[in-house]
Each structure stands twice: as C-alpha cells, then as structure tokens.
Amino acid sequence: MKNICKNVLLSALISLSFCVAAPCAAPEGDVVFKAMNDEMARSMNKLKMDNLQKPYFMAYTVSEGSSCHISATFGSIEGFDSSPYRRVKAEVRVGDKKFDNTNYMGAAWGEYRPSVDYGIAMNDNYDSLRFSIWSLTDAAYKDALDTYSKKKAFKESKNIAELYDDLTDEPVYKDFSPAATWQFDGNLWAGRVKRLSAVFIKYPAVKYSQVSLSYDYGLSRFVNSEGSEFKKPYCSGAINIAGETYSRDGYKLDASARFGFCGADDLPAFETIVKKVEETAERLTAMSKSVPMKAYIGPVLFEENAAARFFEHFFVNNVSNPREIWKETNKWSTNSVYRRAGELVERLDMRVMPPFLSVVDDPFVTVCNGVSLMGHYEVDDEGVPAREVRLVEKGRLKDIYRSRTATRDFNRSNGHGRGGYHEFTSGGPGNVFIEPEDNPARVMPFSELKKKFLDMCREQELEYCLLVKDIASFHGSFSAYKVYASDGREEPVHAIEFIGAGLRALRDIVAVSKEMTIYNMAWTPPASLVAPSIIVQEMEIKKTEDKPDRKPYLDHPFFAR
C-alpha cells in the first residue's frame, strides 16, 4: 500500500541535527531555550512547599507562530482574524514514576486540562520570559500537590491494587530543527474563500452554508528535567466546507468536506476545491429530496471518506488514549466518555479485523499519491523519537498507540505521545495506513466492489441495500442512499441511525477496494488516514428517534428574490 507513498523525511526538506544521549546543546543565542532551562533548573532544585514533596519531573513546551482564520457564507466574509501568538505549557509531577499526580481527574472532569499561559511575552526578553514561566510553574506545582493528594486518597478508598507506571523510562533525546519558512497570503485566501462560499448561491435547497480556512504555523520548543530537548517546525491548516438543508418532512440534514494542508503548495488546484464545493451543494440538494427509511438489516457499502471515517471511529479511536483516566462517578461524569481508554487496547493478539487487512502507522511519510499527509513528525510531544508501528498484522492486533504512560501490556513509549495545548499527552495517531493483502477475492477495483455489493443484496433477496457516502456522526448524521438490487439506482434517505454499531463491524468487513482515499483527520495534533472503500457484511439500521425541526416559514433571502 505504501508503494504509492513517499517516505520523505523532513530532514530531506530542511536541515536537521539530532542526537540521542549525546552532548547536544540548544541553538546558541536562543533566549527562549535559555529561559526555559534556567527556570527548570531552579525549580527542580528549590521548588518545595513546606514539608510537601518536591517535583521529581518537569517539562515545558513553548509554541510560537501565527494563526489565521477566515470564514464566509454565500459570497460574504463573516470573519477574518490573523494574529501572532506565543504560549507556554508546564508539566509538573510530584511523587515518583510509579505513582504521581497524572492520569486522574477526580470529580472535576471538565477542568482536566494542562497548565497553559497564553500571555507569554512575544519579544525575546529573558526576564519577561522567566517571569511567565516561573508564574505558570508555581501554579502547576500547587495543582500537582493537590491532585496527588486526591489521587492517593482515591486509590486507597477504591482499594486499587493493579497499578501501572505513570511515567516510563526513555532515553534522552535532542533534536533541533530550524523554524518554518512557509508563507501564507491571508488577503489572497480571503478572496478565494469568499468566491468558494458564493458557489452555494446557485443551490436554493441549501439553507445554511459556510466555507472556512484555518491556518497555524510556527515552531515548538520542548525541554524536560531529564535532559531531552527539541525544536521543530509546526503547521496545520484546513479548508472546511459545510452546508445544511431540510428534508420534505422537516429533518435538518448536513454535508461537509475538508482539505487539510501544511503549506499553501499542499492544497489542490483552486478549481478542484470549487468542484468539491459544488459536489457538496449537489449532495445537499439531493438530500433535500430524500425519503425516510424503515428498519434495515443487511450489507452496507462505505464509500471513500465514509470508509475512512469508519476506520477512524471504530479502529483509530479505540487504539488511542490507552490508559483509563481515574475519575469520581457523579451525575456529571457517569456517562462521560472524556479520555476514556480505547476499547481495543485490552485485545492484543486477538482478531480485530479480517485476516486480509493489516494496519501500520508511519509518521515519517509526508506525501501519499500526490497528497500531503498532515500526520508526519519526527519527534513526538514528549521528546521521544517517532517510530513506525505495525498495529494490526493479518487481522490481529499487535500494538497500540503508546506514550510515556504505561499500560497493562506495555511499559515503554513507541513514539506516539501526542497532545495539543488543551489536553494532556496520550497515545495517538500519525499517518494510519489500512493495508489490504493481494487477494482478488477480497480486494478489487471499486467498480467490482459495487457489483459484489449488489450481488450480496440479491443473494439475500433484498429490494435494496445501503450505501454510505459521508459520515458526520455515527449517531445519525450521515449521507446514505438506498441502492436498488434490480438496477443499481440510488435514492437518498434520511432520519436513520445505526443500531449497536460496535467493534464487530471491523471484523465483518468482507471486501475492500484497490483505490485508496487519503483523509486528513481533524485531530490535534493533525493526523492522516489512508483507507479503501469497504463492504461490511451486515449492519442494522433503524429510524431515528430524533424529531424533525420546524422548517423556516420564509425562503432563504438569497433565493426569495
């Protein structure tokens, strides 16, 4: 599968230097690194409150750059914001590697966030930087002491005996890359976003639409108290296309599309983006004429992006965040799935997919079939070198995404510790490749896959089977079509949802396409997934319990004229 992709390292694009357990030093004259290291050394030596514990581990991350957000609807700019930023995240741990203050949210699950300061000085004034880092460290240390005390009490009250290390041992690693030199013309793209949004004016069935562009580029610096350091460029961009319509019986329906990019050169030709907007508007128009559908049990064909979303939902989510976060059960958190451990992490060496599928995550790949992959990186967010990971071999789960937080089966990171500024680092994806084996009975061109799908429909004596073209949510928001067995005719449907759609669906994949869809997932940090279209042997559908909305009494003003 990866023969259509390029294993192009960032080091082939920009000059890098790295060293493992060697006397590398941060770039000379880098005031930010100096402030980070000096304050960390002082805090590790002297930070201690009364008779309480000193920190045993600390880490700082400082990110800086520029961000831009542009949005437009029906040919008019809604918002345009472009600004520089610099922010610092502080991690302070008390206790020891076997048991510390992390991986516990208690009852305040909505406040389970790292310590971050968005007001750090933009200029490289050493004293100002030291002040910001010192102030944040002080707050993080006090929070760490409080959380450690509560976590210890929780462990004792629940009589928890099975414990896994909160911080694994990893070699010291240093990697220093120059800052990014990408250029982004906000004014140029404001005009283009406006023109893209105007495409929807030609489609009266579309009641709401928006085209937006978000772009963030710069660099990150990282240091920890063990001696690991990195400086690496960062970029993340996306053009999002979204629209809504109503069915005849009043159900609100939506469709969307997305282009991920790093540099502006990663985006397809502007005409290609225009075509995608038109396709989205045409899909919404068809959906506005869709019909309700009764209960259904039978094969389901997931096409292109819908198949990618299928693998993201059932597989990627369930091999990520492998460590359960301890929390108090109360009326606010009983049903919360926030940072719940992936459901597959306990199923190592078990069959989780059909034997003709394997899965690998390779964060070093930058381009696949001419499309840039957003999930490439060379060092993860904990200062551990990136690594290719074979997650599934011939249907059996062989590994999971691992950070420096141990699990029942693993006590080392595999270079996939990932996390943004609003969340703690955990195991997460880079570039995910679904790899079918060479099996003509199971892997075929999409045209043959669709023929097989219709053959299955006829064998089960069904009038029609279900085709899914896009998925916003597995709880009812997806673009689906009846495909009639007699002639292959497609008819859009709405007001349906999957029943009991669980991990069994992964094992029930019976055939896939040779063609691959490249899907840049909306994860933080960014991640990518390359997957085929798929047939799932059997899934169950029911009419949604959601009620229709009240349709607008007047036509949209753009079309009333």
Let me know whether 294 and 221 are in one domain: no
Cβ atoms within 10 Å of 376's Cβ, excluding its own: 23
Residues 354, 251 share a domain: no
* Residue 522: per-residue pLDDT: 85
Note whether 59 and 128 are same-domain residues.
yes
Integer angstrom CA distances of residue 551 from 245, 284, 285, 291, 448: 10, 15, 16, 16, 41
Q: What is d(CA 333, CA 314) in angstroms, rounded to the nearest whole number?
A: 23
Q: What DSSP state is assigned to residue 359?
A: E
Statement to judge: residues 187 and 240 lie in one domain: yes
44 burial (CB, 10 Å; 0-12 / 13-18 / 19+) is middle
Is residue 285, in this structure, part of any structural domain at all?
A: no
Q: Is residue 535 part of a domain?
A: yes
Would you state the pLDDT for residue 557? Answer: 78
Quick check: is 558 in a domain? no
The predicted pLDDT at position 4 comes to 54
Which pLDDT belongs to residue 547?
79
User: How many independent structural domains does the chain possess?
Assistant: 2
Q: Which element (helix H / strand E) includes 392?
A: strand 389-393
561 within a domain of the structure (yes/no): no
What tokens does 189 get?
């793209």
Residue 73 sits in a domain of what CATH number?
3.30.2290.10
Residue 505's nearest CA partner among 345, 348, 306 is 306
Residue 14 within any structural domain of the chain: no
Q: Are 295 and 367 in the same domain?
A: yes
| Domain membership flag for residue 549 | no
Residue 171 C-beta-side C-alpha neighbours within 13 Å: 12
Residues 6 or more apart in contact with residue 42 via CB below 8 angstroms:
none
- Identify the pLDDT of residue 165: 97
Joined together, the tokens standing for residue 512 give: 């896939």
Q: pLDDT at position 308, please? A: 97
Task: Classify residue 511: in a domain, yes or no.
Answer: yes
- The answer on 239 and 303 residing in a single domain is no
Q: Calculate ∠ Cα 340-344-346, nearest 5°.
A: 95
Q: Based on the domain organization, do 308 and 236 belong to the same domain?
A: no
Instruction: Give the residue numbers spanning the domain of 422.
Output: 290-322+342-543
User: Do 249 and 296 belong together in one domain?
Assistant: no
Beta strands at 296-302 and 464-473: parallel, antiparallel or unpaired: parallel
The predicted pLDDT at position 21 comes to 44
Tokens of 468: 């899914």
> Mean pLDDT, consecutive 10-residue segments, the chain of 561 residues?
51 39 69 97 94 96 94 96 94 98 83 89 93 97 95 94 96 89 85 97 94 94 97 92 93 91 84 96 94 93 96 96 84 47 92 98 94 94 98 98 96 96 93 96 97 97 95 76 96 90 95 96 92 97 83 76 65
CA geometry: angle 353, 355, 359, nearest 5 deg: 60
Give yes or no: residues 400 and 519 share one domain: yes
270 shares a domain with 298: no
Are 174 and 109 within one domain?
A: yes
User: CA 94 → CA 154, 456, 478, distances in Å?
Assistant: 16, 59, 46
Q: How far apart are CA 171 and CA 383, in angstroms?
A: 9
Strand partners, 100: 95
In this structure, are 304 and 250 located in the same domain?
no
Are 413 and 403 in contact by the 8 Å Cβ rule? The answer is yes
17 in a structural domain: no
Give the position of tokens 């006590």: 411
Last residue of a domain, one of 252, 276, 300: 276
Dihedral sign computed on CA atoms, order 439, 441, 447, 450:
negative
